Amino acid sequence: MNISEEKAQLRKEIRSQRKKLDPELRKQWDKEIEDQIFTMDEYKNALIVFCFVSYGGEPETSGILRNILEQGKKLLVPRCRENGEMDAVRITSLDMLQKGSYGIMEPPVDLPDEGFENIDFAVVPALAFTENGERLGQGGGYYDRFMAKTKAFTCGICYPPFILERLPIDTFDMRVNKVIF
């Protein structure tokens, strides 16, 4: 089995396992993830924070998004484009989000792309991580492209069952600086 096939198989298995997670356990993990992020110096010192808007079985990010706004930080969220690229768009309220690409809540298309250059801290999703920052994304390459362009401190978040000892990794797969689970 080549790396692409191995990744596809693992994605399928993890998506299936995520659906079976106990909702109360998920809430507990979401709170633990938030608490860890909020105590990180990299987060506390960040002025501009990029954070994904959770979708499907991903860890819930609404508490993180609200905290960013409450702390007076500049909040950028992703808006996907068709070519595997994404924009970093500023929002000042979660009410600004609307259903966009892939059914994911995104900022409206008329808001400008702020770019990735000035982001201080980024919260990054994945289906699975290793403790040393390797990640298995959804397969579109959006976050690998993003992480190749930013100097931000990248923090991956994931539920504990999906922290694996090893992942199939390609040369273009980008690691995060820290993984929280």
| Range(s) of the domain holding residue 33 | 22-127+142-180
At 21 the pLDDT is: 97
157 within a domain of the structure (yes/no)? yes
Instruction: Provide the pLDDT for residue 50.
Output: 98
Kindly state whether residue 136 falls inside one of the protein's structural domains: no
* pLDDT score at 143: 95
In a domain, 10, yes or no: no
Contact (Cβ atoms closer than 8 angstroms) between residue 176 and residue 153: no
As for how many domains the chain has, the answer is 1
**DSSP characters over 148-176:** HH--SEEEEE--GGGB-S-----TTPPPP
**Tokens read off for 117:** 């250059």
Element (H, E) at 77: strand 74-80
In a domain, 151, yes or no: yes
Query: Would 15 be classed as within a structural domain?
Result: no
pLDDT of residue 103: 87
In a domain, 154, yes or no: yes
Task: Looking at 20-83, list the stretches that DSSP marks H as alpha helix, in order from N- to C-terminal side.
Answer: 23-39, 41-44, 62-70
Sign for the pseudo-dihedral over CA of 38, 128, 145, 140: negative
Q: What per-residue confidence (pLDDT) applies to 84?
A: 81
pLDDT digits (tens, 9 = 90+) for 76-102: 999 998 888 899 999 999 999 999 877
C-alpha distances (whole Å) from 116 to each of 21, 49, 76, 86, 153 are 33, 10, 9, 10, 12
Q: In what order do the strands lie in the sheet with 121-124?
A: 86-91, 74-80, 48-51, 121-124, 153-157, 178-180
CATH number for the domain that contains residue 57: 3.40.50.10420
133 belongs to a structural domain: no
pLDDT reported for residue 138: 92
By DSSP bridging, strand 135-136 and strand 128-129 are antiparallel
Q: Quote the tokens at residue 58.
A: 């991903």
Q: What is the pTM of this model?
A: 0.96
> Which residues in the chain show pLDDT less than 70?
none
